[in-house]
Structure 1
Amino acid sequence: MFGFRTLGFALLALRASAGPIAKRADAYYNPADNGGSMLTNAGSLGEPLNVIVSGQSSPDVLSYDGIVNYARAIGFSTECFGIHLGGPQSANLGDGNGWVNQTAELREDYGHANVGTCLESGIGGNHFRVFKQDGGDADSGALFLAASTEEPSTEHHTIIPDGYDIGRDTLVSWALGTTSYGGVTYSTTAENVTGLLQAGTSGINHDIAIDGIVTVLTVTIQ
């Protein structure tokens, strides 16, 4: 009897100590500290990684399915019928994985998560590419986003003037506060960070100047 009771208390103690999945200690690592870059590879130039979903966010947000559901909560969705026009971009986040293609590309859905991105593909709007920092050299779990606002298809989806900063600010404004989708409710806070990106046009695709600000989002599932 005593042995079974002791074993029961031990199992209860183990369960209590395990608790929920813990958030990561680091919000993100600067890719440049380990040979990476805050610009994607879009050919000879790149797009700024101007939004970071912190590794201190709820773990379920940081998976592929998690970021897609979160995107739908803030006005974005997957590409029109899953069709992507153009090649993917890659990023080196300094985590030891080298240059890795984007995990996903999410587009403004104009209020219709299932088909709204078809409208964005036609008339333009906001979109962002997703890259995950999860290599052994810098495993923050953070998601680095390249956000921008693009022209309609008649203009070959060129980024609009000031489109990188506008794309970032629009995404952040839609994300802040409380949002929900698919039965999941999110609370999002934001912090602007300087020093990760250089202001100006150096290395930037389409020769569009940026202000050098990166916004770090911390997303908590309620």
Structure 2
Amino acid sequence: MHAVRSLSLAFLAVATYVSAGPLAKRAVAYYDPNDNGGSMLTNAGNGLGEPLNVIISGLSSPDVLTYDGSINYARAIGFSTECLGIHLGGPQSANLGDGNGWVNQTVEIREDYGDASVGTCLESAAGGDHFRIFVQNGTEADSGALFLAVSYEEDASEDHDIEPDGYDIGRDDLVSWALGTTSYGGVTYSTTAENITGLLSAGSSGINHDISIDGIVTLLTVTIQ
């Protein structure tokens, strides 16, 4: 199943993109949601949650932290918006300890198998990596950081369940594709990574699908060249 990501849809057209305008840069990478009544697990609607296992630092280039900028960055590292703009399943919410309480995901992004235009349709059918974005921007902890719930899901025949070890696999895939220099839509990015412990607990307690995680959160700092 995991090997299916090697498929290519290079024969399909690539979508174009215009980035958002600049914003003021924040002064902190992120705030720990646990310190102010938040959680590093989403609310999946069943009393369980998915780990917020990747953070795009608030010290990244400001354009990366905008809605349009985050989508362009996602396209630079092998992901894109959902197939034909259609979302299957309900959104999840997260409380990032910023005073906003539980807020629904900003967007859900899927692996695009080499084509940012329609490649996510293959992910919807065959499975692959995907992530949900949550923004830490409330008045009590306004880092501007993007908290991502990343996972690797099985194909449609398995009802898109998360693959065993799928949270750690999804995180590691995204990080490996993001590191170094990438580009999309005329924008070039340089990404560095740091693994952080102590934000998430290792194990399966409270985790959706009873899947164990290693407790590592990867902090990405993304700089536009």
- The TM-score with structure 2 as length reference comes to 0.89
Residue aligned with 2:150, SS: strand
CA distance in 1: counterparts of 2:95 and 2:50, whole angstroms: 12
The 1:21/1:62 distance shift into structure 2, 3 A limit, reads closer
Task: Tell me which residue corresponds to 1:4.
Answer: none
Task: Tell me which residue corresponds to 1:156.
Answer: 159
Percent sequence identity over aligned pairs: 82
Task: Tell me which residue corresponds to 1:109.
Answer: 112
Residue aligned with 2:148, SS: strand
What letter corresponds to residue 26 of structure 1 in structure 2? V
CA distance in 1: counterparts of 2:196 and 2:219, whole angstroms: 7
Q: What is the CA deviation profile of residues 65-96 of structure 1, one whole-angstrom value per residue up to 9, with x for unaligned ones? A: 00000000000000000000000000000000
What letter corresponds to residue 29 of structure 2 in structure 1? A
Q: In structure 2, which of residues 30, 33, 38 is the aligned counterpart of residue 31 of structure 1?
A: 33
Q: What is the CA deviation profile of residues 10-30 of structure 1, one whole-angstrom value per residue up to 9, with x for unaligned ones? A: xxxxxxxxxx96531110000
Task: Tell me which residue corresponds to 2:222.
Answer: 219
CA distance in 1: counterparts of 2:152 and 2:160, whole angstroms: 9
Shift of 1:105: 0.5
Residue aligned with 1:157, SS: coil
CA contact (8 A) 2:112 2:118 kept: yes
Task: Tell me which residue corresponds to 1:77.
Answer: 80
Task: Tell me which residue corresponds to 1:53.
Answer: 56
Q: CA RMSD in A?
A: 0.9
Residue aligned with 2:138, SS: coil
Report matched runs for 1:136-151 at 5 Å.
136-151=139-154
CA distance in 2: counterparts of 1:76 and 1:217, whole angstroms: 16
CA contact (8 A) 2:104 2:134 kept: yes
Q: What is the CA deviation profile of residues 2-51 of structure 1, one whole-angstrom value per residue up to 9, with x for unaligned ones? A: xxxxxxxxxxxxxxxxxx96531110000010000000000210000000
- The TM-score with structure 1 as length reference comes to 0.90
CA distance in 2: counterparts of 1:48 and 1:22, whole angstroms: 29
Does residue 125 (structure 1) correspond to residue 125 (structure 2)? The answer is: no
What letter corresponds to residue 124 of structure 1 in structure 2? G
In the alignment of these two chains, the number of paired residues is 203
CA distance in 1: counterparts of 2:157 and 2:38, whole angstroms: 34
Please tell me whether Structure 1 or Structure 2 has the larger radius of gyration of its CA atoms.
1
The 1:180/1:97 distance shift into structure 2, 3 A limit, reads same
CA distance in 1: counterparts of 2:24 and 2:102, whole angstroms: 28
Q: What is the CA deviation profile of residues 100-146 of structure 1, one whole-angstrom value per residue up to 9, with x for unaligned ones? A: 00001100000010000000000000000000000000000000000
What letter corresponds to residue 112 of structure 1 in structure 2? D
CA distance in 2: counterparts of 1:150 and 1:86, whole angstroms: 13
Task: Tell me which residue corresponds to 1:208.
Answer: 211
CA distance in 2: counterparts of 1:21 and 1:88, whole angstroms: 27
